[in-house]
Amino acid sequence: MRLLIIFMILFSGAAQAIPVTWTLQDVVFDDGGSASGFFIYDADLDLYSSVNITTTSGSDLSGESYLYPKGVFAGPFSLVATAQDVPDLTGVASIALFYNPGVLTNSGGTRSLVEGSSRESFCADPDCNIGVGEPNSRDIIAGSISAVPVPAAVWLFGSALAGLGWLRRKQIV
Same domain flag for 158 and 114: no
Same domain flag for 46 and 102: yes
For CA atoms 29, 31, 37, 42, give the dihedral sign: negative
Same domain flag for 134 and 89: yes
Count how many domains the chain has: 2
Residue 77: closest CA among 101, 110, 52, 55: 101
Same domain flag for 11 and 62: no
Same domain flag for 97 and 128: yes
Planar angle of CA 73, 51, 76, nearest 5 degrees: 40
Same domain flag for 58 and 142: yes
Task: Give the model confidence (pLDDT) of 43-80 as tens digits.
Answer: 888 888 888 999 999 998 888 888 876 556 666 667 87
Same domain flag for 134 and 169: no
Same domain flag for 161 and 81: no
Q: Judge contact between 61 and 69, C-beta under 8 A.
A: no
- What distance in Å separates the CA atoms of residue 35 and residue 7, rounded to the nearest whole number? 42
Same domain flag for 47 and 107: yes
Choose the weakest-confidence range: 25-34, 50-59, 112-121, 147-156.
Answer: 147-156
pTM (2 d.p.): 0.70
Query: What does the pLDDT read at residue 58?
Result: 93
Same domain flag for 7 and 24: no
Same domain flag for 77 and 113: yes
Same domain flag for 66 and 127: yes
Domain assignment of residue 56, given as a range: 19-149
Task: Give the model confidence (pLDDT) of 84-104 as tens digits.
Answer: 554 554 456 788 888 887 678
